[in-house]
Amino acid sequence: MNEELLLHQLAIIEARWPTLAGALATAQLGDFQVELCEGSGSTLLVNGIQLTSRHDREAEAQLQANSLPNARELHLYGTGLGDLPPLLLARPDLKRLHIHILNHTLFTLLLALLEWKWLQDPRLQLSLASDETEVTLPFFAIPSELELAETAASRIRGRLISEISAEYTKLRFAPDSARVQTRLAENLPLIRADGDVASLFDSAPHGTAVIIASGPTLQHHLPRLAALLHCHPKWQLICVDTAVAPLRQHHITPHLVVCIDDRLAQDHLASDGLITVPLVYTPMVPNATLNSWPGPRLTAYSISPMYQDLRETQPKGVLHQGGSVLHPAVDLAVKMGCSDIILLGCDFAFPGGQTHTGWQDGALGPTAHQTFGWTLDGHGHRVVTNPNFTTYQIELERYIAKHPQIRFWNTSRDGAAILGSRYHPEFVS
């Protein structure tokens, strides 16, 4: 570590961003294990994670730069070894490069190891990602720093992961794909014959809805829920597809079931005997799964382009979608008129090393051992998750922010802490 270099670069930062300099001065540089990692070239290994390529850092940085448009303003989350900023600052049309620091200790450590002349560029703006709540586009996030992000930057990290994942989702549900067109054609006779989710809108003014998902904490709350229903008989139970089975094991029957999964098998939907319970579904659900439902069915769309023709030819109500069945379930409750939304089993994480309640590990997707992400639980501790769940959490938090008139209640501190929700006193002491 070069203390003279560190002091020099901190002085540059203090002159331009004194508050940031104060935060960097508190960094405990001994928190990281740093090693030299060599290949055709070299890089640093920080806590076992390569900051950049160990073969050709320049080529890697150029690829990263090429992924960004030629815009007047760009956003960079993390710095790596500082190879990318000078490439971006070399663009004549660039007016502002905003670097968001994902780990202030790592950033300070690198200041002591590498001379970054680009720190003096007047177009540069530095800030702590931990002070921010939303991602700004267009951006590039240094992959290694998403792994090394500090706990205080967890929310912006989650939003970065959500934005990165969005492009894959768009490709998977492209309106002109053969898979989408085939599925919609299969389900068209059902769409024509089935009811409209809009018939439920405004049916529960000022009511309370319990949104029941199948996260690991659900198992701890089902006995409590059964008892509370005697005190709150007007609560609307809106259950996601994979939560039906554990719910019925506790002799609880939902009022509504919501399904959007284009891969949901019949045996993942415990529908036997539910002859009076409506299934709210979107048209990408497998045809065999829809036909297995014994009760009434209500069709719903999202604003996705793949439903554009159907929205015009077979009008039905629209529900918000954000990747998870949880989102349309919540939106349905809001459009029914509910003013209180209780989230049960909505964990967005794998507390206790479990993925779901009522299903074997891996039965509904990746196992708990295949996780490679984290979020903060209600205790302020890291809890393991995966990128998909992080995306779902972020989308729900954005939805909550857009509905300040609705009270959202979380029911367990062991799952993810959901921004904008509070903890329900009848479930959490």
Which tens digits make up the pLDDT trace of 268-283? 687 888 999 999 999 9
What pLDDT shows up at residue 168? Answer: 62
pTM: 0.78
Containing 226, the helix (H) or strand (E) segment is helix 218-231
Is-contact 78 52, C-beta < 8 A? Answer: no
* Domain limits, the chain: 3-166, 190-423
Element (H, E) at 139: strand 139-141
- Asked if 29 and 3 count as a contact pair (C-beta separation under 8 A), the reply is no
With a pLDDT cut of 90, the percent of the chain lying above it is: 74
Q: Which of 310, 311, 282 is nearest to 297 (CA)?
A: 282
> What confidence score (pLDDT) does residue 373 get?
80
Strand partners, 35: 45
Give every residue of the chain whose pLDDT is below 50, as ranges. Answer: none
Phi-psi region of 273 (alpha: psi -120 to 50; beta: other; left: phi over 0): left
- Is residue 54 within 8 Å of 38, Cβ to Cβ? yes
pLDDT of residue 368: 53
Q: At what angle do helices 387-401 and 154-172 cross, to 10 degrees?
A: 100
Amino acid at 62: Q
Each residue's pLDDT tens digit, 21-66: 999 998 988 778 889 888 888 899 999 899 999 889 999 999 999 9
Looking up tokens 């729900």 gives 396
